[in-house]
C-alpha cells in the first residue's frame, strides 16, 4: 500500500514542479525579490495540506488550523486544473507557435472553474425518488445524507444551513450514511456541533452508520460525540423504526472484523422492508443476492471534481446515483458536503429524499 502513497506523492510534487516552472517563466521579468516572494508563497500553498493534516490533533488556534486546511485543499483543485490546462495550451503552442500566452489564460480559466465549482458545492440539490413495495404499510419519507465531514471544512454555520435543508424535507426518518465527521473531533467539539445535531427533526428517528473518516478522526471519540446527540448509531446492528421497516446498519469496512451482511440480514424478519446502510459501496451485489429492498451508501463523492468522477465510475460497480438491481433498489450519494477542496466540478452536493409507498397492485 505504501507504494501507492509514494507514487501519489511523486505525482503531486511533479505536478507542482511543472506548474512552478511555467509560473517562473511567466514572472521572469519581475524584480528578483518579488520572484522569490511568489516562489515562497507557491510552495507554502503546495505543502500546506500536508502540514494541516500533520497538525490536525495538535493544540493550535482553530483559526490557524482552519486556514491551513482551507489553503491546502483549495490548492489541490487549483493545481489539477492549472496543470491540465497549461499542458493543453503547451501542446497548442507546439502546433501554433503564435499562441504564446497559454499560462496566463490557463490560470484565468482555472479561477473561473473554481468559482463555478464553489457555487455547486454551496447549493446542494434535493434528489427525490419514489419506491413502491408490498411490504410498506404506510407511506414513509426518508431523508438520506452522507459525507457531511464536520470540522474545519464544514463549520457550525454551514452545518446549521444543512440542518435547515434537512428539516424542510419533513422526513419521517433521517439516515446518515457515514462520514458525519471529518479528520478530527477537535473543531467539532470546539464549535459544539452536537447542539446543531439536536435540531435535526424527524418523526421516527435519526439513524447513522460509521464511515472511514470516523475511524480517521478516532473512532472512540467519534462514537462518544454521536452518543451526545439524538442520533442512533448502528454498528452491525438493526433498528425497527416502525412495524414494516428494518434498518440494518453496518460498521465501516475499515473494520475488518465487522459482521457479514449475510449474518445481519439473517437476523431480520423476511416480511420487513430491509434497508441497508453501508458507507462504502462495495457490497451492493451481496445486498441484491440477499433480497435487501434498499441499499444506501455514500463515500465516493462522485469523485467530487472532474475527471475524478470517471475514476469513481471505473472503481465501483455503482459509484453514484440510483439503480434498480434485480431485487434491490440502490442509491450511492455524492454527499451533502465534501472532504477537502470546497468545490464541486461536474458533480453536485445533494440530499436524497426517498418516499416509500405501498405497491399499487397491493392497494387495489
Helix (H, G, I), strand (E, B) or coil at 267: coil
Q: Quick one: pLDDT band at residue 125, thresholds 50, 70, 90?
A: very high
Q: Please say if the pLDDT value at position 362 is more than 70.
A: no
Whole-number percent of the chain with pLDDT over 90: 79
pTM for this one? Answer: 0.87
| Structural domain boundaries in the chain | 2-121, 126-363
Cis peptide before 307 (omega within 30 of 0): yes
Whole-angstrom CA distances from 136 to 131, 234, 306 are 10, 22, 39
The 8-class DSSP code of residue 303 comes to: G
Strand order in the sheet with 125-133: 125-133, 350-358, 140-145, 173-177, 206-209, 232-233
Does residue 84 have a pLDDT over 90? yes
Nearest to 336 by CA among 150, 81, 88, 192: 150
pLDDT greater than 60 at residue 333: yes
Residue 132, helix vs strand vs coil: strand
Residue 361: what pLDDT?
A: 55
Residue 227 in this model has a pLDDT that exceeds 60: yes
Across the beta sheet with 294-297, the strand order is 237-242, 245-249, 273-277, 294-297, 329-332, 321-324
Instruction: Give the pLDDT band of residue 1 (cuts 50, 70, 90).
Output: low
Whole-angstrom distance, CA of residue 300 vs CA of residue 297: 9
pLDDT bin (cut points 50, 70, 90) of residue 102 is confident
Task: Categorize the per-residue pLDDT at 363 as very low, low, confident or very high, splitting at 50, 70 and 90.
Answer: low
Q: Residue 4 pLDDT > 80, yes or no?
A: no
Please list the residues that pair with 125 across neighbouring strands: 350
Residue with cell string 444543512: 162
pLDDT digits (tens, 9 = 90+) for 174-208: 999 999 999 889 999 999 999 999 999 999 999 99
pLDDT bucket at 217, cuts 50 / 70 / 90? very high
Q: Which pLDDT score is estimated for 62?
A: 74
302: alpha, beta or left? (left if phi > 0; alpha if psi -120 to 50): left
Q: Domain 126-363's class?
A: alpha beta
pLDDT score of 360 more than 90: no
The reported pLDDT for the residue numbered 55 is 79
User: Which string of DSSP letters, residue by residue, matches 141-175?
Assistant: EEEEE----BTTTB-HHHHHHHHHHHHTT--SEEE
Amino acid at each position: 500500500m505504501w507504494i501507492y502513497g509514494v507514487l501519489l506523492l511523486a505525482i503531486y510534487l511533479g505536478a507542482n514542479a511543472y506548474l512552478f516552472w511555467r509560473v517562473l517563466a511567466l514572472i521572469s521579468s519581475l524584480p528578483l525579490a518579488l520572484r522569490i516572494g511568489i516562489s515562497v508563497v507557491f510552495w507554502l500553498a503546495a505543502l500546506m495540506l500536508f502540514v494541516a493534516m500533520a497538525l490536525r490533533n495538535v493544540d493550535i488556534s482553530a483559526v490557524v488550523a482552519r486556514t491551513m486546511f482551507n489553503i491546502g485543499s483549495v490548492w489541490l483543485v487549483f493545481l489539477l486544473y492549472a496543470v491540465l490546462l497549461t499542458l493543453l495550451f503547451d501542446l497548442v503552442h507546439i502546433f501554433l507557435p503564435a499562441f504564446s500566452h497559454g499560462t496566463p489564460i490557463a490560470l484565468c480559466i482555472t479561477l473561473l472553474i473554481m468559482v463555478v465549482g464553489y457555487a455547486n458545492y454551496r447549493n446542494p440539490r434535493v434528489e427525490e425518488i419514489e419506491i413502491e413495495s408490498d411490504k410498506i404499510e404506510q407511506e414513509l419519507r426518508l431523508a438520506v445524507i452522507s459525507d457531511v465531514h464536520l470540522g474545519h471544512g464544514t463549520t457550525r454555520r454551514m452545518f446549521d444551513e444543512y440542518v435547515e435543508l434537512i428539516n424542510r424535507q419533513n422526513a419521517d426518518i433521517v439516515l446518515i450514511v457515514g462520514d458525519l465527521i471529518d479528520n478530527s473531533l477537535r473543531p467539532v467539539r470546539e464549535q459544539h456541533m452536537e447542539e446543531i445535531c439536536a435540531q435535526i427533526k424527524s418523526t421516527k428517528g435519526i439513524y447513522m452508520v460509521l464511515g472511514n473518516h470516523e475511524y480517521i478522526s478516532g473512532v472512540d471519540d467519534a462514537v462518544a460525540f454521536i452518543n451526545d446527540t439524538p442520533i442512533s448509531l448502528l454498528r452491525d446492528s438493526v433498528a425497527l423504526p416502525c412495524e414494516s421497516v428494518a434498518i440494518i446498519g453496518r460498521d465501516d469496512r475499515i473494520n475488518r472484523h465487522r459482521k457479514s451482511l449475510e449474518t445481519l440480514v439473517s437476523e431480520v424478519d423476511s416480511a420487513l422492508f430491509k434497508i441497508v446502510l453501508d458507507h462504502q459501496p462495495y457490497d451492493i451485489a451481496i445486498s441484491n443476492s440477499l433480497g435487501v429492498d434498499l441499499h444506501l451508501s455514500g463515500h465516493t463523492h462522485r469523485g467530487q471534481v472532474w475527471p475524478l468522477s470517471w475514476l469513481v465510475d471505473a472503481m465501483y460497480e455503482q459509484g453514484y446515483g440510483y439503480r434498480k438491481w434485480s431485487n434491490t433498489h440502490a442509491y450511492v450519494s455524492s454527499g451533502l458536503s465534501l472532504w477537502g477542496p470546497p468545490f464541486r466540478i461536474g458533480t453536485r452536493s445533494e440530499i436524497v429524499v426517498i418516499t416509500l409507498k405501498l405497491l399499487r397492485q397491493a392497494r387495489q
